[in-house]
Amino acid sequence: MNQTDDPLLAVVSAYAAACEGLAAATTGRTGRGPQGALLAVTGAPIAALNGIISPSLNPSAEEIMALAAEGSPWEFPWSIHVRGVPGPLVAEAAARHGLTHFEREPLMIRYSDQGLPTEPDVDGLRIRAVPVDELGLYARTVAGGFEAPPEIFQIFADSSLAKVDGFTFYLAELDGVPVGTGMTAVAGGLTGIFNVATLPGYRRRGYGRAVTVEMVRAGFAAGAGTAYLYSSKMGEPVYQSVGFRTEEYLTVITAPA
């Protein structure tokens, strides 16, 4: 299938490439199937950050099974990511590995022809790119934003991530105190947006929206004015207010909690 038949293929492929870059920097455990499916193991104790991603609208169960065998033994929680509703063969392949929980995540896109969003204006909030020597602070703030133990997101403290082409990490601060985070992966004219999180005591003040707008503006400056992200259902209204629209869904298949 070519780009004309599948206009979102480039976006989903960019998402897969960002996951590949993260895994290559942290563990080096990556692989590709003949039809383009990706094996990416970051080593984080989060199923969504280890696994197999198929950018195709028609994923191959055989390719997924082969990559699952390549990733074995799976010493970390892992997952299978496919677009839309998984077919019975993919669901069966996942179930053979105990992956039977299905979670849908909206793919939201803001196209470059919508123009540059207005610069965020939130009193006292400073949003800045994080240098390599502050990635530990960044990782701790991400964990706090997602209300998770610090070790869950420790991979984002890995200094090798600063060397990944196109990756930028952001902190939002009030009077020098971190209150939120974001991350971009810029490649091929696209800005991938990740890790948008706000610390619990600072929510409902527009900080997550401000970080998102700042990252979209940075993407424009880098020549990547079309931005994409995978959202939670709760986050959809925030991103819609910035101009993102849901285009399709990603199904993440994991083991039951």
Q: Report residue 3's pLDDT band, with 50, 70 and 90 as the boundaries.
A: low
Q: State how far the Cα of 27 lies from the Cα of 90, in Å rounded to an integer.
A: 26
**DSSP code per residue over 95-125:** HTTT--EEEEEEEEEE-GGG-PPPPP--TTE
Contact between 198 and 207 under an 8 Å Cβ cutoff? The reply is yes
Q: Report residue 257's pLDDT band, with 50, 70 and 90 as the boundaries.
A: confident
Contact between 251 and 85 under an 8 Å Cβ cutoff? The reply is yes
**Cα dihedral angle (196, 201, 203, 209), rounded to 10 degrees?**
-40
> Structurally, what CATH architecture does the domain formed by 116-224 represent?
3-Layer(aba) Sandwich (3.40)
Q: Report residue 2's pLDDT band, with 50, 70 and 90 as the boundaries.
A: low
CA geometry: angle at 11 spanning 162 and 120, to 5°?
Answer: 65
Q: State how far the Cα of 37 lies from the Cα of 90, in Å rounded to an integer.
A: 13
pLDDT in tens, 29-47: 999 999 999 999 999 999 9
Q: State how far the Cα of 210 lies from the Cα of 152, in Å rounded to an integer.
A: 25
Query: The whole model's pTM is what?
Result: 0.95
Mean pLDDT on 221-247: 95
> According to the model, what pLDDT value does residue 9 have?
97
User: Does 177 score more than 70 pLDDT?
Assistant: yes
Mean pLDDT on 61-70: 97
> Structure tokens of 98?
């105990």
Q: State how far the Cα of 197 lies from the Cα of 203, in Å rounded to an integer.
A: 9
Contact between 156 and 190 under an 8 Å Cβ cutoff? The reply is no
**DSSP code per residue over 185-232:** EEETTEEEEEEEEE-GGG-SSSHHHHHHHHHHHHHHHTT--EEEEE--
What are the extents of the domains in the chain? Answer: 9-106, 116-224
User: Does 136 score more than 90 pLDDT?
Assistant: yes
pLDDT in tens, 178-228: 999 999 999 999 999 999 999 999 999 999 999 999 999 999 999 999 999
Q: State how far the Cα of 102 lies from the Cα of 251, in Å rounded to an integer.
A: 6
Q: State how far the Cα of 220 lies from the Cα of 226, in Å rounded to an integer.
A: 8
Beta pairing, strands 50-53 & 79-83: parallel
Q: Report residue 121's pLDDT band, with 50, 70 and 90 as the boundaries.
A: confident
